[in-house]
Amino acid sequence: MNIKNIDINQKKIIIIAFGVFLLSLVFWFFIYTPAQKGIRVMKTDLGVINTQIKEIESIISEAKSVDEGIRVLKERSEVLKARLPRQEEGVISVLSDLAKKTGVEIISINPQSKTDYLDDNGNKIMIGDRCLQSMLVPVELICTFKDLIRYMEAFRSQSPAFITIESLTINKGAAISLKLNIRADLKLYLLS
């Protein structure tokens, strides 16, 4: 096929296909890949906390003395308690404040009810006399991709609670705007 023999409609199809390819490539490199990286980091953090919880349980069960086991449990408990608050209101307030600071507009934030966090055997995880609980918080945001990354980094480093992102949906906003419509399901971990 000779390029000179291509008619206008075929040229339009080629241009549209090339445009779709470029948009897909931009989406892949600037949205999908960084978001996946952030999700992997947060899942790793959750794995570290779960490992620490299992270490505490094994130290208690294998401790040479009861006093040593209690001392180690108290030390680890204080570290975890610092990242696992009792009340979710303060955490949600911090999420709103961080959004304002990073240029993210929160359209809605809808905390769900708390549920007990269970171990592999279906038992409640207790730290001291408090139960580890999780709470799903669906949020809808409007922001640029850059602001979204800054927001995620801010709540990861500055939030008083341990938070994971369970799901993240990013949709393009208005054709002219760089703003994105984002829906994220955040999970807060609390001690109650």
With H, G, I as helix, E, B as strand and everything else as coil, classify residue 191.
strand
pTM as predicted: 0.53
Rg (CA), the chain: 23
Q: Does the pLDDT value for residue 69 go beyond 80? A: no
What's the fold here for domain 7-191?
Answer: Alpha-Beta Plaits (3.30.70)
Contact (CB, 8 A) for 108 and 139: yes
Question: Is residue 82 pLDDT above 70, yes or no?
Answer: no
DSSP characters for 82-130? HHS-S-HHHHHHHHHHHHHHHTPEEEEE----EEE-B-TTSPBPEETTE
Say how many C-beta atoms besides its own lie within 10 A of residue 141's C-beta.
Answer: 21
Q: Tens digit of pLDDT for each residue in 124-171?
A: 877 667 777 788 889 999 888 888 888 888 877 777 677 788 888 888
Exposure pattern of 88-123 as b/e (b: 16+ CB <10 Å)? beebbebbeebbeebebeeeeeebeeeeebeeeeee
Residues 25-36, mean pLDDT to the nearest whole number: 81
Nearest CA to 152 out of 134, 135, 136, 139 is that of 139
Alpha carbon distance 50, 56 (integer Å):
10
* Residue 41: φ, ψ to 5°: -65, -45
Q: What is the mean pLDDT of residues 72-87?
A: 62
Name the DSSP class of 5.
G
Judged against a pLDDT cut of 80, whether residue 90 lies above it is answered with no
- Looking at every residue in the chain, the average pLDDT score rounds to 78
* Start-end of H helices in the chain: 8-27, 33-62, 66-83, 88-102, 145-158
